[in-house]
């Protein structure tokens, strides 16, 4: 915690303001991304590969925010830069829904891609600054439980909007008016979030201890921190292996299984609802056993998700997809709490934005490469005439089998390294 933050009165009130902010922020993001943004893209004629990227577009755009690092060093005020980026990112996001009425049909996807990338790049940088601002008000020993409570508010907003948004789009049969309504509600949520941020006191951030702020210096600084770099490499390979298949989940459910919005969002609530209980459990585990322990443990649950998704087909998906999503619920609850806290545990107080941007860039790269690899394997499988006769939708389902095997291999490798007592230190070496 910074000295400035420690001097501010009524920290509990500030923390409650951040909880209020995340409700409005989550509502805006949920209504303008994920399943609903995928539906808008499908409405405009997007391909399977493009739709697969949409579900993780914020993370993908994280790779570009590394370029912002030296620019962000000019700002000392968390409050000013957060509010400024919030206004810009939300304005850019809301422009997306106007594309079908402003752009001819043949050019809609061409315009959609750069507008979406710009909007979510701004969102990604906003999230980094906001998180850095927030942690100045959170005690490190209680960070696991605080983030767990914060994620509970995220889930509450997600569940309500999943039901309401799904029913709305099904009621209008996926017509354009449904997306206009969703984005209009999102605009109201965005205004409320900005008003909430205006009520939160400012803190002055610490500068990076380097004389120059060239891009090369910004990149080399986190690379020299061997412990942090080892963490980033581990998360990079995990996300890479998971996104090979996971990026196609919405495509699989909506385009191949032809599930309605209500069914799709209803099943996805099986990921959200159990987390209301599980987040508190993982928060305590993370604080007591360590954030790295909780992180490694949570990744094992993702294996259950991809395994049961591989088993699903049009005849049994009502059983296997819910089972897969229950594993995903346990996995996401633990991962969201532990990866956030482990990241901030390893980052030095000075230059946290730089380190966070480096982490986001690595994650973004994984989310770019994962669907590319998955798409390449998918096309290869589709070229096999006998596969469709042996395995229904094998071009998608085998991707989940590949992800399952890859994540198991990663975990075994990590266990092997730990069993040999090989620990990367700040000085380097084992």
CA quadruple 146, 147, 150, 155: dihedral sign: negative
pLDDT, position 202: 84
pLDDT of residue 195: 95
Q: What is the dihedral of CA 150, 156, 157, 158, to 10 degrees?
A: 100
Sign of CA dihedral 45, 50, 53, 57: negative
Q: For residue 426, what pLDDT is reported?
A: 37
In whole angstroms, what is the distance from residue 320 CA to residue 75 CA? 49
Instruction: Write down the pTM of the prediction.
Output: 0.71
Long-range contacts of 388-396 (CB under 8 A, 24+ apart): 392/313, 392/314, 393/252, 393/256, 393/313, 393/314, 396/245, 396/248, 396/251, 396/252, 396/256
Per-residue pLDDT tens over the stretch 19-41: 899 999 999 998 998 888 988 99
CA 346 to chain centre: 20
Query: In whole angstroms, what is the distance from residue 99 CA to residue 105 CA?
Result: 9
pLDDT for the residue numbered 386: 76
CB of 340 closer than 8 Å to CB of 147: yes
> How far is residue 138's CA from residue 157's CA, in Å, rounded to a whole number?
22
Can you give the pLDDT at residue 9? 38
Q: What is the pLDDT of residue 177?
A: 94
Determine the pLDDT at residue 214.
61
What parts of the chain have a pLDDT lower than 50?
1-11, 424-430
What does the pLDDT read at residue 172?
87
Say what the pLDDT of residue 132 is: 83
């Amino acid at each position: 915690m910074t000295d400035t933050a420690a001097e501010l009165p009524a920290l509990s009130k500030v923390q409650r303001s951040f909880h209020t902010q995340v409700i409005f922020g989550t509502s805006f993001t949920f209504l303008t991304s994920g399943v609903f943004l995928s539906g808008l893209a499908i409405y405009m004629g997007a391909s399977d590969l493009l739709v697969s990227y949409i579900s993780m577009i914020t993370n993908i755009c994280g790779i570009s925010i590394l370029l912002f690092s030296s620019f962000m060093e000019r700002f000392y005020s968390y409050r000013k830069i957060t509010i400024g980026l919030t206004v810009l990112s939300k304005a850019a996001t809301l422009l997306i829904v106007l594309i079908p009425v402003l752009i001819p049909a043949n050019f809609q996807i061409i315009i959609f891609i750069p507008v979406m990338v710009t909007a979510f790049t701004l969102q990604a940088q906003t999230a980094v600054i906001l998180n850095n601002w927030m942690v100045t008000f959170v005690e490190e020993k209680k960070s696991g439980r605080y983030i767990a409570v914060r994620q509970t508010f995220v889930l509450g907003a997600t569940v309500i909007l999943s039901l309401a948004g799904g029913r709305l789009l099904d009621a209008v049969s996926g017509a354009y008016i449904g997306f206009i309504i969703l984005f209009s509600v999102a605009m109201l949520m965005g205004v409320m979030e900005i008003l909430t941020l205006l009520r939160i006191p400012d803190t002055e951030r610490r500068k990076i201890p380097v004389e120059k702020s060239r891009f090369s210096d910004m990149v080399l600084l986190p690379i020299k921190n061997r412990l942090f770099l080892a963490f980033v490499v581990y998360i990079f390979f995990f996300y890479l292996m998971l996104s090979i298949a996971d990026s196609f989940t919405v495509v699989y459910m909506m385009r191949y299984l032809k599930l309605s919005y209500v069914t799709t969002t209803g099943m996805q609530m099986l990921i959200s609802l159990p987390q209301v209980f599980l987040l508190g459990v993982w928060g305590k585990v993370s604080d007591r056993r360590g954030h790295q322990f909780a992180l490694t443990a949570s990744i094992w649950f993702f294996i259950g998700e991809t395994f049961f998704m591989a088993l699903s087909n049009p005849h049994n998906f009502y059983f296997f997809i819910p089972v897969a999503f229950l594993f995903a619920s346990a996995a996401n609850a633990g991962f969201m709490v532990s990866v956030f806290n482990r990241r901030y545990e390893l980052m030095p107080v000075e230059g946290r934005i730089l380190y966070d941007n480096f982490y986001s860039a690595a994650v973004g790269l994984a989310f770019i490469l994962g669907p590319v690899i998955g798409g390449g394997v998918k096309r290869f499988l589709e070229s096999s005439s006998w596969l469709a006769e042996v395995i229904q939708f094998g071009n998608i389902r085998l991707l989940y089998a590949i992800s399952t095997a890859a994540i198991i291999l990663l975990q075994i490798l990590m266990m092997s390294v730990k069993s040999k007592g090989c620990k990367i230190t700040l000085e380097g070496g084992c």
